[in-house]
Structure formats: C-alpha cells, structure tokens
C-alpha cells in the first residue's frame, strides 16, 4: 500500500517498540518520516530506512520538556515544509507495584514519562496543523487505565485519553483529526534502552507477574499482541481511510476494552 505517499509523518518514541514499528510501517507506505527519541539509537533506526531516494530523519529530543517538543516540531517542519501526521508513542510503565508502595517521586516520574510527552507534542505541533488547515494526531494510550499495580501510569494514560477527546473537539474546525489507540500487552523485541530498573526481589517480581496474568486474563484472545499489530492500527487511524474518525480511542488489546 502507498497510503502515506507525499505525507510528512512525525513519530515519537521510535528507538524501539511500537514507535519503531510504526515509523517503519509509515515509511514502507510512502511517508517522509521524522523519527524522534531521546536516545541516539534513533539515528541508527532512521539510517536503516532508505527507499526510492527517500530517507528518514532522526531527531533527538526530551519530550518530557516543552522546549524539547517545540524544537523538534520546528525542525521537522523546517525539513519538509509541513507536518501531516503526528504519532505520539512515548510512554510506558517504569515501576509495577500496588499504589501504596509508590513514593511521591516515582508517581511524578510516571506521569512525566507517560503524559507530558503527548501533552507537549500536541501543543507544539498544533500551530503548524492549524496554519495549513489539516492534519492528524494519533496518540498511543493504554487499556491499563483499568489495570492493577500501576495507578500512576494509568492516571497518565487516562490523561492521554482526555487530551484525545477534548482536543478533537477543538481541532475539528481546523480540519484536524485527533484519535488514539489503547494497546494491551504487547510482545516486543528485547529493549535496548530500559524504561526503569528491573524488578528487585521476589515481591517485585510477583507484583509484575500479577500485571502479566491480569493482562492475559482480560483479553478474549488470551495472548499478548505484537508491535506489528499495534502499528497496523495506528497506521489505519492516521490514514485517509479513517477520515471520518476523530475523538475516538481504539482498544487494540485482543478484546480487552480497558
């Protein structure tokens, strides 16, 4: 398919996981892709995307900070003269434990990781989309808004859902769609950049296993998904085929609706 031919697509969180799979798929479907991550691995991933004279650009930015989002959207716009699609995938659980065991600094870190990159990136890209009178934002939330042992992460992803529905109402008059996917448990290649410390001790490993068990038990299909299954849903929502969809959060979780 060539659904994104001639379109400029910015994908955040592209060093690995769902973000990388999404960037690769968009590129394969004809997009001019700008990959964003705070790890230098993003340059390696971007360097591997070459086809028909097209190449991807990798940019490093800390999207937990507003200045990082502003700078990267400005640079992406300068490279291509426009931005057609923004996909926000940055986020992920850092710790896994019952809420009463989270110290305040970890709660704040979870929210910074999984809410602010989307909040800032939407704000940073919006003036460009409004000026051109069109565009699509696809946020990546999570069905873990209804899950155990990660209340701060759930709160952050609930915020992503709220950004999606509220911004869709504001942006529609400018020809801008805002949508989201809500992934369930997703198998991915081994992480090259860790989200946080590995579980320490039997108790922390047991808390993490509770998440795994609850995730599988909540799906009708009884399994984790793949990064390609997540990227396929994101690409659909970003594509012209979804032109009459906005303000929606699509669960991609084997029947778990979150």
Q: Which residues contact 79 (CB under 8 A, 6 or more apart)?
A: 34, 57
Alpha carbon distance 170, 83 (integer Å) = 19
Known catalytic residue at 102:
no
User: Which helix (H) or strand (E) covers residue 21, if one does?
Assistant: helix 17-28
Cα Rg of the chain (Å, integer): 17
What are the Cα distances from residue 50, in Å, to 38, 56, 89, 141? Answer: 22, 7, 22, 29
Closest by Cα among 11, 4, 20, 7 to 193 = 20
Phi, psi at 32, each rounded to 5°: -85, 110
Residue of 153, 208, 224, 244 marked catalytic = 153
What are the Cα distances from residue 135, in Å, to 30, 99, 195? Answer: 17, 38, 30
Q: Which residues contact 166 (CB under 8 A, 6 or more apart)?
A: none
Q: Which residues are catalytic?
A: 153
């Amino acid at each position: 398919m060539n659904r994104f031919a001639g379109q400029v697509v910015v994908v955040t969180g592209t060093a690995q996981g769902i973000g990388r799979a999404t960037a690769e798929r968009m590129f394969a479907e004809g997009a001019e892709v700008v990959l964003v991550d705070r790890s230098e691995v993003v340059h390696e991933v971007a360097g591997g995307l070459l086809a028909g004279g097209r190449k991807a650009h990798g940019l490093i930015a800390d999207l937990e900070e507003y200045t990082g989002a502003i700078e990267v959207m400005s640079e992406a716009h300068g490279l291509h003269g426009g931005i057609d699609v923004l996909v926000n995938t940055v986020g992920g659980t850092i710790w896994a434990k019952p809420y009463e065991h989270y110290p305040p600094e970890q709660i704040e870190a979870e929210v910074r990781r999984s809410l602010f990159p989307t909040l800032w990136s939407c704000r940073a890209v919006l003036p460009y989309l409004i000026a051109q009178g069109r565009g699509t934002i696809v946020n990546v939330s999570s069905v873990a808004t209804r899950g155990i042992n990660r209340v701060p992460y759930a709160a952050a992803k609930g915020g992503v859902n709220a950004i999606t529905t509220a911004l869709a109402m504001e942006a529609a008059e400018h020809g801008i769609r805002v949508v989201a996917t809500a992934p369930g448990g997703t198998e991915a290649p081994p992480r090259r950049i860790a989200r946080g410390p590995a579980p320490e001790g039997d108790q922390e490993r047991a808390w993490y296993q509770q998440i795994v068990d609850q995730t599988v038990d909540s799906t009708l299909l009884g399994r984790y998904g793949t990064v390609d299954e997540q990227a396929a849903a994101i690409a659909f929502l970003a594509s012209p085929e979804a032109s009459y969809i906005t303000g929606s959060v699509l669960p991609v979780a084997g029947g778990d609706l979150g």
